[in-house]
Structure 1
Amino acid sequence: MATEKAKTETLSVEQRLKSLYQLQTILTKIDRIKTIRGELPLEVKDLEDSIQGLRTRIENYQREIQELKNKTVVEKEKINESQAKIARYKEQLDNVRNNREFDLLSKEVEFQSLEIELCEKHLHEYARTIDAKTRDIETTEERLHDSEHILAEKKAELDEIVSETRQDEEKLRVEAQEIEPNIDERTLKAFKRIRQNARNGLGIVYIQRNACGGCFNRIPPQKQMEIKMHKKVIVCEYCGRIMIDPELAGIDTEATAQ
């Protein structure tokens, strides 16, 4: 540990800045891998949630259809009961002894006839609803089938990307670990802290057209001169990112300008 500390203390600011930019380049590649891989799991999760929702909807439709079928059985039983009562009342009408009994039995026949009409109305409503929900099930099953197909493709794509990028990411992490000892502990901690707070993960940026490459605020000529001298670590007064001149970063400013 003491040896590593002594080693970083002997390194010039120029060497530290150069190593820091190399580290940033590697970490940016890792961030890009995470971004590519990070979007797919969200898509897979959304599809899985959507599929679960479609399955639940189908189950609800099926349960509602079964309830309607049970109600249909009940209504048919009521019709059979009413028809039996009507037949019995009509037999009794043949043997009435007075007008009062005739009126009572006639009203009972009329009431049971109305009950049958009401039951038949319910049966028609249940049948229409069952047909509608059956069509809903068919439509939902089609959506479910399509979603399951897409999910299978997304999962295969995710597995392939994870398989392909895992090795690249591990290699990049090893490279990053090899560079870190070339940066003093204080600067490295500051760099990592800046990266965490930066939206794009950039902890060190080079000057672009006389401006900070992170927030694009203009840098005074005097400060630009200090950055080019590589005598100390300088941060942007606006965004707090560490700044490095393009030449030290290995950036071809002419090509970038084009």
Structure 2
Amino acid sequence: MTNVKEMSVEEKLRALYDLQLIDSRIDEIRNIRGELPLEVQDLEDEVAGLKSRSEKLKVDLDTIDEQIKAKKNAIEAHKEGIKKYTEQQKNVRNNREFNSLTKEIEYQELEIQLAEKHIKEMKASTEFKKVQIAEATEKLSSKQNHLEHKKAELGDIMSETQKEEEFLMNLSAEYQGKIEERILAAYNRIRSSVKNGLAVVSIERGASAGSFFTIPPQTQVEIAARKKIITDEHSGRILVDAALANEEREKMESVFKSI
């Protein structure tokens, strides 16, 4: 890590509060996007799954069609066999040969019945798969339309906020570079442990912002003196006085407006 310039406590507090304002602004931008990126990803996965399912069903249909053709060809072959054996029966020399040919004919007839039964089952499966394909196609169309709408919505938000977010991310990195590692680690730890991401807050009406716990007058004096970094004993947040906070807010607002 690059050497951090030696700063006074007040400079550290100002840098910390500025960093908080920058990071909070980034949070706001990301909150505007909300769950949209995840929604888009989920829809993309769902569309891909439906496409894959439709393709598999179509392959299954083609396979069944080929199987039906094979069964029909087999039936024709069995019919030819029946003809052949029937003709042969006309020229038999004894009952044993006749009975043997009769068994062959019966076998061919059974094979035809079995093939016809399979064809009937496969045709029923074909109809069922056609219904599934129609349902999947309809659902796929609906999901694709929804996906395009969400992508457009996300694209609009991204085009509006991407430049600002990139600028702020670079600015955040710049300010992090000004703060010594120990304090920055504490800032990040506090920030990640609270829902609103506020690790540095100002004093408002005798309490830390967003808290109902009053800060003792002596502690408020010490915070206003800006001689040491003080944390709220209830929330663990780093505290700054209202005057410093107002000054830094005005400064950073002008920076944000220039983006």
Asked if 1:93 corresponds to 2:86, the answer is no
Asked if 1:161 corresponds to 2:154, the answer is no
Q: Which moved further from structure 2: 92-101 or 42-51? A: 92-101
Q: Given the superposition, is the C-alpha separation of residues 245 and 111 from structure 1 closer, same or farther in structure 2, using an over 3 Å criterion?
A: same
- Where 2:133 maps in the other structure, the secondary structure is helix
Matches within 5 A, 1:5-24: 5=5, 8-9=7-8, 13=10, 17=13, 20-24=16-20
- Separation (CA, whole Å) in 2 of partners of 1:40 and 1:226: 44
Q: Which moved further from structure 2: 27-36 or 237-246? A: 237-246
Letter in 1 for 2:193: A
Instruction: Give how far 1:74 is off.
Output: 1.0
- Where 1:103 maps in the other structure, the secondary structure is helix
Q: Which moved further from structure 2: 134-143 or 192-201? A: 192-201
Corresponding residue of 1:143 = 139
Asked if 1:111 corresponds to 2:104, the answer is no
Matches within 5 A, 1:113-128: 113-128=109-124
Instruction: Give how far 1:170 is off.
Output: 5.2
- Separation (CA, whole Å) in 2 of partners of 1:74 and 1:100: 33
- Separation (CA, whole Å) in 1 of partners of 2:103 and 2:124: 32
- Where 1:138 maps in the other structure, the secondary structure is helix
Unaligned runs of 5+ residues in structure 2 are: 247-259
- Separation (CA, whole Å) in 1 of partners of 2:113 and 2:212: 82
- Separation (CA, whole Å) in 2 of partners of 1:53 and 1:191: 44
Letter in 1 for 2:58: Q
Corresponding residue of 1:203 = 199
* Partner deviation per Cα, 1:21-72 (whole Å, 9 max, x = no partner): 4542332121121233362222111111111111111111111111111111
Q: Which moved further from structure 2: 184-193 or 147-156? A: 184-193
Q: Given the superposition, is the C-alpha separation of residues 126 and 25 from structure 1 closer, same or farther in structure 2, using an over 3 Å criterion?
A: same
Corresponding residue of 2:218 = 225
- Where 1:243 maps in the other structure, the secondary structure is strand
* Partner deviation per Cα, 1:143-189 (whole Å, 9 max, x = no partner): 111111111111111110011112443565687689x59x8647862
Is the CA contact (8 Å cut-off) linking 2:190 and 2:236 kept in structure 1?
Answer: no
Is the CA contact (8 Å cut-off) linking 2:85 and 2:104 kept in structure 1?
Answer: yes
Is the CA contact (8 Å cut-off) linking 1:203 and 1:242 kept in structure 2?
Answer: yes
- Separation (CA, whole Å) in 2 of partners of 1:159 and 1:191: 35
Letter in 1 for 2:229: V
Calculate the TM-score normalised by the size of structure 1. Answer: 0.76
Instruction: Give how far 1:82 is off.
Output: 0.6
- Separation (CA, whole Å) in 1 of partners of 2:62 and 2:139: 22
- Where 2:102 maps in the other structure, the secondary structure is helix
Is the CA contact (8 Å cut-off) linking 1:191 and 1:242 kept in structure 2?
Answer: no
Structure 2 residue corresponding to 1:59, chosen from 49, 55, 62: 55
- Separation (CA, whole Å) in 2 of partners of 1:40 and 1:213: 30
Is the CA contact (8 Å cut-off) linking 1:227 and 1:244 kept in structure 2?
Answer: no
Calculate the TM-score normalised by the size of structure 2. Answer: 0.76
- Separation (CA, whole Å) in 1 of partners of 2:51 and 2:131: 15
- Where 2:147 maps in the other structure, the secondary structure is helix
* Partner deviation per Cα, 1:220-242 (whole Å, 9 max, x = no partner): x54x6313432332123465321
Structure 2 residue corresponding to 1:234, chosen from 223, 226, 230: 230
Structure 2 residue corresponding to 1:80, chosen from 71, 76, 83: 76
Q: Which moved further from structure 2: 183-192 or 70-79? A: 183-192
